[in-house]
């Protein structure tokens, strides 16, 4: 493995690399319980969208992420 220094900063790329946005099903930790931040945001979005049935305490990270994305789209926050 090479330890060459590069001045390239991937954060400044006009088009992010394809692996920066993975499908939640492909996450290594996707089956872990959702984080507190996810739970809070999902609860808020589900209330704002008048869809409280989309919130559940026992969701995993991947499912919470998918529901958050769907609610953001529904609410026009993409």
Higher per-residue confidence, 27 vs 58 = 58
Average pLDDT estimate for 53-76? 95
CA angle 40-78-46, nearest 5°?
35
Query: For residue 17, is pLDDT > 60?
Result: no
The helix/strand/coil state of 24 is: helix
Percent of the chain with pLDDT over 70: 64
Cβ pair 71, 46 in contact under 8 A? yes
Look at residue 60 and give its three-state secondary structure: strand
Enumerate the domain spans of the chain. 30-78
Check pLDDT > 80 for residue 42.
yes
d(CA 16, CA 53): 34
Read off the pTM. 0.66
């Amino acid at each position: 493995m090479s330890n060459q220094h590069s001045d390239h900063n991937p954060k400044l790329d006009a088009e992010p690399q394809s692996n920066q946005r993975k499908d939640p099903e492909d996450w290594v930790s996707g089956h872990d319980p959702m984080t507190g931040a996810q739970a809070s945001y999902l609860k808020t979005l589900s209330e704002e969208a008048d869809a409280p049935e989309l919130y559940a305490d026992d969701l995993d990270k991947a499912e919470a992420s998918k529901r958050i994305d769907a609610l953001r789209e529904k609410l026009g926050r993409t």
